[in-house]
Amino acid sequence: MKLTGAQILVQMIKSQGVDTIFGYPGGATIDIHDELDRHDDLRHILVRHEQGAVHAADAYARAHKTVGVALVTSGPGATNTVTGIASAHSDSIPMVVFTGQVPTGLIGNDAFQEVDIVGITRPCTKHNYLVKDPKKLACTIQEAFHIAQSGRPGPVLVDLPKDIIQAQIEFNMPEPTRMRSYKPNYKPNKKQMSKAVEMLKSARRPVMLGGGGIISSQASEEFTKIAKLANIPVTGTLMGLGSYPGSDDNWLGMLGMHGTYRANMSIGHSDLILAAGVRFDDRVTGNIEKFAPQAQIIQIDIDPTSIHKNIEVHCPIVGDCKMALADILDLMEKESPADFQQDREAWLDRINEWKQTTPLKYDQGYDTIKPQYVVEKLYEVTEGKAIVSTEVGQNQMWAAQYYHFDEPNHFITSGGLGVMGFGLPAAIGAKAARPDKLVVNIAGDGSIQMNIQELMTAIASDLDVKIVILNNRFLGMVRQWQELFYDKAYASTDLEKAPDFVKLAEAYGAKGFKCDDPANVTETLKTGLNTPGTVIMEFIVEREESVYPMVPAGGAITDMLLV
């Protein structure tokens, strides 16, 4: 059977179980979009900017637990995806990005809308391809999906010259992918499992630390069972929120620069850390030399290059988090639970004292809305069941602190790269993946404007998302640093002149509500969340409210600035 390259591409995408693509057409991909239009079982969501396509595909992958797919044209269409690809790479999100390219005969000739996207994205993709032979197109696409979702997940880019897409060749479905040079190790070493169990038995001040690897490997159940069996307190990274129930008594809250007092102090005084799916980045560790000075560390990670990368560990376990934790749990269940809980009372009492004496706090008065109050009320009104995406900045940290995630894949944020403008397209991607769920984007007034055009995508695609804007008329997180470390010189962070977000919502065909009275916060949230369609809820909040606790740059995580 002879097919064009465009037809082969669509057939191969469908063979991978994909039912949704986020994209934006151009001259180099017009044949692909023409072919897509003939396939009712493959939904193409037309975004309004290529960056939005990649963030939406990223969130789709997280909420749907599958591979996200984006399709863009050559040149600027391709380069507009780079931020989203880099974000997915930092957060280990499985994604395949197809980019159009000029015909192979024009590559290197400075042709119109030609760019070396393979070279540009080499440092921020897990792998990338330039397809030069139409006979290799099908195998390349299959490999791309295999690489994106196996081992440590990540984005893969496939660059498609126009003549490859238009070529007509005999098509046969390729054999399953086998790559001699790429064989991720999933199965952990049994000796290391036994060693980890012995370390857990002998620990007197243990803490468990969950990261994004728990969520990507769907290991939350095993992680939670270990903590329950051994009665171990649990903290998590930003990417690990939801890996352990946020409403459970053993949950300490988030760790790190804006972590809770009890989480940071517990890590600082622990004698054992069981860390799973964590890469120990600087926002988590603070000053590496002062991180957990008394602790032995067990680190589980699918990526061997992440072991020992930032922190020296005492029991490295290379393998899939779910498999490793299941093995550890199996060994623990063969012994008495009491063996794992000896002499633990004083430690738990000390943590409870930290929790009681130094909780997260703010003072909500009668005049001005505190942003933390909005997030707390959002949590109450939604009963903690919404999928929440965030932008980056103070809004992201308040969401992490005050919205308690009981399930994985419900907190979707740009953790590693920290991309402002991520939240709205991410909410659209999450809604496409989970139309049964309420999806809320928590945003700042600065970050929401970075991809505000995607409001049109939500409305045109009938993907109803709710947007909560915490409007402080500042680039808040930078302003906070200026307040603390630059003598309150608020250079280039004042956003007093801003659009009317209610009118902006209406201009796009959405609904808009505005609230500046603390007494009306709950009612505004209820009204906005219960209004059909896409809705913006704008809350005028305290201008100079800051995120606390805060660990100053270079400090130990136990050296926190408190309210």
**How confident is the model over 175-225, as pLDDT tens digits?**
999 998 999 999 999 999 999 999 999 999 999 999 999 999 999 999 999
Query: pTM for the full model?
Result: 0.97
Over range 456-467, report the average pLDDT. Answer: 98
How far, in Å, are 70, 74, 106, 143, 173 from residue 167 at the CA level?
22, 18, 16, 21, 17
* Angle (nearest 5°) at CA 129 between 124 and 131: 155
pLDDT at position 349 over 80: yes
* Angle (nearest 5°) at CA 548 between 546 and 552: 95
Q: What is the rounded distance in angstroms from the CA atom of residue 479 to the CA atom of residue 485? A: 10
Mean pLDDT of the chain: 97
At 104-128, the pLDDT tens digits run 999 999 999 999 999 999 999 999 9
At 216 the pLDDT is 97
pLDDT at position 342 over 80: no
At 338 the pLDDT is 85
How far, in Å, are 71, 193, 379 from residue 205 at the CA level?
50, 20, 31
CB-CB contact of 169 with 109 (8 Å): no
Q: What is the rounded distance in angstroms from the CA atom of residue 25 to the CA atom of residue 313? A: 48
pLDDT confidence of 373, banded at 50, 70, 90? very high
At 46 the pLDDT is 98
pLDDT confidence of 528, banded at 50, 70, 90? very high
H/E run at residue 259: none
Q: What is the rounded distance in angstroms from the CA atom of residue 98 to the CA atom of residue 100? A: 7
pLDDT confidence of 520, banded at 50, 70, 90? very high
pLDDT confidence of 323, banded at 50, 70, 90? very high
Residues with catalytic function? 50, 112-113, 162, 477
H/E run at residue 296: strand 296-301
Half-sphere exposure of 140 (CA within 13 A, CB side): 22
At 276-290, the pLDDT tens digits run 999 999 999 999 999
Q: Comparing 175-184, 243-252, 499-508, 527-536, which segment has the lowest mean pLDDT?
A: 175-184
pLDDT confidence of 343, banded at 50, 70, 90? confident
Q: What is the rounded distance in angstroms from the CA atom of residue 353 to the CA atom of residue 347? A: 10
pLDDT confidence of 270, banded at 50, 70, 90? very high
Over range 290-305, report the average pLDDT. Answer: 97
pLDDT at position 550 over 80: yes
User: Percentage of the chain with pLDDT > 90?
Assistant: 97
User: Percentage of the chain with pLDDT > 70?
Assistant: 100
Q: Starting at the earlier edge strand, list the strands of the sheet with 251-254.
A: 251-254, 234-236, 206-210, 272-276, 296-301, 315-318
Q: What is the rounded distance in angstroms from the CA atom of residue 484 to the CA atom of residue 474? A: 15
At 374-395, the pLDDT tens digits run 999 999 999 999 999 999 999 9
CB-CB contact of 132 with 104 (8 Å): yes
At 340 the pLDDT is 87
Residues in the chain, overall count: 563
At 170 the pLDDT is 96
At 521 the pLDDT is 98
Nearest to 518 by CA among 540, 543, 537, 496: 540
pLDDT confidence of 138, banded at 50, 70, 90? very high
At 89 the pLDDT is 98
